């Protein structure tokens, strides 16, 4: 086995600036997207994900310019999420230099959109972002549902049924966020991740809850994830990506050397 597991820093972008909030409050400015991207690339990030959290759709054009600027000088895969609702949104981001787009809410409201997007642009650039929340009781077997609106609105859709469907519809990758863990820094929901990873053919990115480097290891070894996504532990210099890679390598996980 020589394919490396990936570390993907995620940058939330609001009106062209990288920000980081904890559980959607206390938004802190973390700087210029291009500078952040350059630094992460130098530290050995395997990919970058930008999430556009700009509230007004009028300002979405700003994100296009962010992607253009980053793609001109950072040569690792770039994923853009947030506000991807139509084929035209995907076209715009790919033309700006994104390699993949991540579709979340639009997939829940219209699963056919994922099929149309994969058909038009190829599965390799369609990431389906899945926000799941545990709905089973403490001692029951794990059961998770898809939630929208930042984890506030239940949809009644079973998470495992959903990821199988998205795989069948042409998703090239699943970005799985545990809404129970997001922002908590207590680690991924590895039981959820392992169930999802076993349910689909495509790679799974674990997200939500990373607070230290052991959590990244656990996401791979226990959660069977193909990649791990984290934001805050990298943004504020708590850990460097190179440090994370060395730590994971030391526990037997295959990583790309920096």
Instruction: Write out the residues near other proteins by the rule CB under 8 A.
Output: 1-6, 41, 46, 71-73, 75-77, 94-99, 121-125, 172-173, 201-204, 226-227, 256-257
Q: Which is nearer to other proteins, 123 or 232 (CB)?
A: 123
Helix, coil or strand: residue 221:
helix
Q: Cβ neighbours of residue 195 under 8 Å, at least 6 residues apart?
A: 142, 144, 159, 160
Active-site entry in 12, 14, 46, 167: 12
Our CB check for other proteins shows the closer of 37 and 179 to be 37
Give the whole-angstrom CA distance, residue 188 versus residue 126. Answer: 23
Smallest distance from other proteins to CB 203, Å? 5
Beta carbon of residue 38, minimum distance to other proteins (angstroms, whole number): 12
Among 14, 46, 89, 131, the one annotated catalytic? 131
Backbone phi and psi for residue 140, each to the nearest 5 degrees, phi listed first: -80, 165
Nearer to other proteins, 181 or 245 (CB): 245
In eight-state DSSP terms, residue 55 is S
Q: Which long-range contacts (CB under 8 A, 24 or more apart) does 243-246 make?
A: 243/213, 244/7, 244/213, 244/216, 245/7, 245/44
In the complex with other proteins, the residue whose CB is nearer, 122 or 154, is: 122
Q: Cα(142)–Cα(132) distance, rounded to whole angstroms?
A: 12
Catalytic annotation on 12?
yes
Maximum CA extent, the chain: 51
CB of 199 to other proteins, least distance (A): 12
Residue 226: CB minimum distance to other proteins, A: 6
CB of 23 to other proteins, least distance (A): 30
252's tokens: 């037997």
Q: Name 130's bridge partners.
A: 176
Backbone φ and ψ of 26, nearest 5°: 50, 60
Q: Closer to other proteins at the Cβ: 31 or 172? A: 172
Active-site residue list: 12, 131
């Amino acid at each position: 086995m020589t394919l490396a597991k990936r570390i993907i820093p995620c940058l939330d972008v609001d009106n062209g600036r990288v920000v980081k909030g904890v559980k959607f409050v206390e938004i802190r400015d973390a700087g210029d997207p291009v500078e952040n991207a350059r630094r992460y690339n130098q530290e050995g990030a395997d990919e970058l994900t930008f999430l556009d959290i700009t509230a007004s759709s009028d300002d979405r054009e700003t994100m296009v310019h962010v992607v253009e600027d980053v793609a001109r000088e950072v040569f690792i895969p770039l994923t853009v999420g947030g506000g991807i609702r139509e084929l035209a949104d995907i076209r715009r981001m790919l033309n700006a230099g994104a390699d993949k787009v991540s579709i979340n809410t639009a997939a829940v409201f219209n699963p056919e959109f994922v099929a149309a997007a994969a058909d038009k642009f190829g599965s390799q650039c369609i990431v389906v972002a899945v926000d799941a929340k545990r709905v089973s009781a403490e001692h029951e077997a794990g059961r998770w549902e898809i939630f929208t609106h930042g984890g506030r609105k239940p949809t009644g859709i079973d998470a495992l049924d959903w990821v199988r469907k998205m795989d069948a519809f042409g998703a090239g990758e699943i970005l799985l966020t545990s809404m129970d863990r997001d922002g908590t820094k207590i680690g991924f929901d590895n039981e959820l991740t392992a169930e999802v990873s076993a349910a689909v053919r495509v790679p799974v990115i674990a997200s939500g809850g990373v607070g230290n480097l052991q959590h990244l290891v656990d996401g791979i070894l226990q959660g069977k994830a193909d990649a791990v996504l984290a934001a805050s532990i990298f943004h504020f210099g708590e850990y460097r990506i190179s440090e994370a890679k060395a730590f994971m390598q030391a526990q037997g996980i295959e990583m790309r050397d920096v």
